Structure 1
Amino acid sequence: MAELYGIRTRDASGVVTLDTTVTPVRSLKMMQVTGNGAFDQYISIPEIQEQSFVVVDTLRDQGENTWSPQAWYSKGQLQLRQPGVSSWQVMILSLGGEPFTSQGDYGFRSRNGDIRTQIDSVNKVLSVRYSGSFQIGIYWRPGEKSQEIRWGDVNFPSPITTYERPLIFLNASDYMMVGNFFVKGSPGNWTGFMIRQHAHPQDHKAYDYMQIKWYCASYLPPVGSPGSYGLSIRDASGAMTFITTANLALLNSQPATNKFVSQGPPISGTVTGYAPSQQMPWTGNYGDFVLANALFSCVNIGATTQPIRPNFGGFLPGNRSILQMYCENNDGVNPVTANGRTLFASQPMKPI
């Protein structure tokens, strides 16, 4: 057994509330950028480091036509494809290990092999706010009338008050094929989310409803007290930045924006028209959730009569070794791809 370095805490019932042998997701910087109307726009962002990863998200609610641009990043640079002239939220995330900042050395850092944990008074951790489940899709049996639930419609118990959209993570008991994702509300008042079921050419959807699980995570400041178990961290002003009673969202795989490849049969000759198949390696773990915010939102391809096109996909039956995506294109010419949709796999620290 590998030696463990760091901290593990449990609550009164014995549930682990912090474990530095796994990696919480941290935010180094949140900022906004504005599109300049170019096909490809390159933006210098020095805070993007070699081991940073970036989520580019919209700040708008345009219903099922809510879209976000494709985005790629490398050290010091962000690339947006057809961003228009809108403003976009950029979240620069990290695996941890950066030096403490000059704003105050409050917190702790640990390392166990390649797993690094740093929770401090400046950089924020992502924690679970709400969670739940719903059914979506088509229920059908021979000789029975099919019943369709087209939309998954979730309302939060109370609004998320961050300026940036909260991050929504999805999983399913098995098969999942969804798209047209959007978060309801506006900056400072995000009230829920909606996502639509989509068809697959092999009609896997026709056998039963998809059983979808979800959780909402954000960087809202934590509240409460650790009580007799756990720990909390405050900044120089006394404001709490971390507490072990919060449920951390954990990074379970290094995200990638360029790992989708064109493989698998496209969808064609249906209402969709044409949608090329894109696949990337996935974790193989049925417990891993996938970030929905950019991956399942629409894309704006511009210069056509129908510029807003859905990205949809998820998991094929019995297979978590790949992430399956389709991007509507109608005619198959210059098909849109899933590359550039920022995402990562995550699990909550504590059961939900």
Structure 2
Amino acid sequence: MVTLDTSITPIRSLKMMTVTGNGEFDQYFSIPEIQAQSFVVVDTLEDRGEYTFSPQAWYSPGQLHLRQPQDRTWQVMILSQGGEPFSAPGSYGIRTFNNNVRTQIDAINKVLTVHYSGAFQIGVYWRPGMQAQVIEWADVTFPSPITTYERPLIFLNAVDYMMVGNFSVKGSPGNWTGFRLKQWANKGAHGSAADDYMNIRWYCSSYQAPSTPAGQYGASVRDAANNRTFVTTANLSLLNSQPSATGFIQAGDPITGGGGYYAPSQQMPWTGNTADFVLANALFSLTNIIQTTQPLRPNFGGFLPGNRSILQMYCDNGSGINPLTANGRTLFASRPMKPL
């Protein structure tokens, strides 16, 4: 007897590929594998430290749109909730439906699996009568490298307030060793919540086949090349929500400061649930505007105090010229199937 929990939706990989820019400002790629039920993550394959950047990206069925991809190569991950038919020759597996929730295990598409997790504190720490302490950077090293070609996906959550940016994954294809990010707390803009450290939880997910600890038992599925695509002992990354719109909208108060500093405020509806993690890879990376004197613009954001109904983003813009809109089509809300 097999009992399937069809209240969960594991995230599946439909296709992983690369595209290369030709230097145009806006570039469009025909990708038939992007279907109406697909969602896409565009990611860099480089580690430039705090200067790592990603292009703005949008997608629609059959098409990927990148803004200022330059002449660089970008990783494109086409993901799914499992709505596509079994179409590959020789494919096999099992699919269940529970209203609109799908659970699929097959020998073609890998599932996204949690490999590592942890927590850190970052930000400004104030106490009466004491000098403020600041932890500006978080630098995390994995217990062992992730060996996939594509970058692993890093998901972030917080006990309450979170405002981070300058995100990058350390390493290179086949040897991803950790990640780093910067705190962007602003006491004047976000009230008393910015007076404390941000307590942030994270987990790292990948399509690297998970290992099975000695003594455990269960079931697994292998493809025609004997590579394992699914194992019941793994902790899967579950999809809880995708962006309800094609991007962020201008909403909320901008952050302003001396010397003409200006960071426009952009928002997107979020899940309202503190159990949901947000994908950090593209959202919190820098954007490169080649034609300006301030080409690298940090995107920073997260969660406002006591509010998970919106995802709050800013684009750092010291000159107040050429503000950007945060990239909202290559992110999603996720949570682990099993407790971390």
> What range describes the TM-score normalised by the shorter chain of this pair?
over 0.9
Among 196, 201, 220, the residue aligned to 1:213: 201
Among 139, 143, 149, the residue aligned to 1:157: 143
Question: 3-state SS of the aligned residue for 2:321?
Answer: coil
Amino acid at match of 1:157: P
- Provide the rounded CA distance (Å) in 1 between the counterparts of 2:190 and 2:205: 33
- Provide the rounded CA distance (Å) in 1 between the counterparts of 2:3 and 2:255: 49
Q: CA RMSD in A?
A: 1.8
2:142 aligned with 1:142:
no
- Provide the rounded CA distance (Å) in 2 between the counterparts of 1:334 and 1:97: 39
Match of 2:102 in 1: 116
Q: Is the 8 A contact 1:106 1:234 kept in 2?
A: no
Question: 3-state SS of the aligned residue for 1:247?
Answer: coil
Among 235, 239, 250, the residue aligned to 2:223: 235
Among 159, 164, 179, the residue aligned to 1:173: 159
Larger mean CA deviation between 276-285 and 203-212 belongs to 203-212
Q: Is the 8 A contact 2:242 2:331 kept in 1?
A: no
Amino acid at match of 1:329: N
- Provide the rounded CA distance (Å) in 2 between the counterparts of 1:247 and 1:271: 49
Among 59, 84, 87, the residue aligned to 1:101: 87
Q: Is the 8 A contact 1:103 1:122 kept in 2?
A: no
- Provide the rounded CA distance (Å) in 1 between the counterparts of 2:192 and 2:72: 37
- Which runs of no fewer than 5 residues in structure 2 stay unpaired? none
Amino acid at match of 2:322: N
Structure 2 CA distance for partners of 1:300 and 1:82, relative to 1, 3 Å: same
Q: Is the 8 A contact 1:72 1:257 kept in 2?
A: no
- Cα distance, 1:334 vs. partner? 2.8
Structure 2 CA distance for partners of 1:140 and 1:341, relative to 1, 3 Å: farther
- Provide the rounded CA distance (Å) in 1 between the counterparts of 2:125 and 2:193: 8
Amino acid at match of 1:328: D
Larger mean CA deviation between 126-135 and 234-243 belongs to 234-243
2:24 aligned with 1:24:
no
- Provide the rounded CA distance (Å) in 2 between the counterparts of 1:129 and 1:272: 44
- Which runs of no fewer than 5 residues in structure 1 stay unpaired? 1-5, 9-18
- Provide the rounded CA distance (Å) in 1 between the counterparts of 2:245 and 2:55: 12
Q: Is the 8 A contact 1:47 1:92 kept in 2?
A: yes
Match of 1:12 in 2: none
Among 174, 177, 180, the residue aligned to 1:188: 174
Structure 2 CA distance for partners of 1:224 and 1:271, relative to 1, 3 Å: farther
- Provide the rounded CA distance (Å) in 1 between the counterparts of 2:126 and 2:178: 29
Structure 2 CA distance for partners of 1:315 and 1:40, relative to 1, 3 Å: same
Aligned length: 337
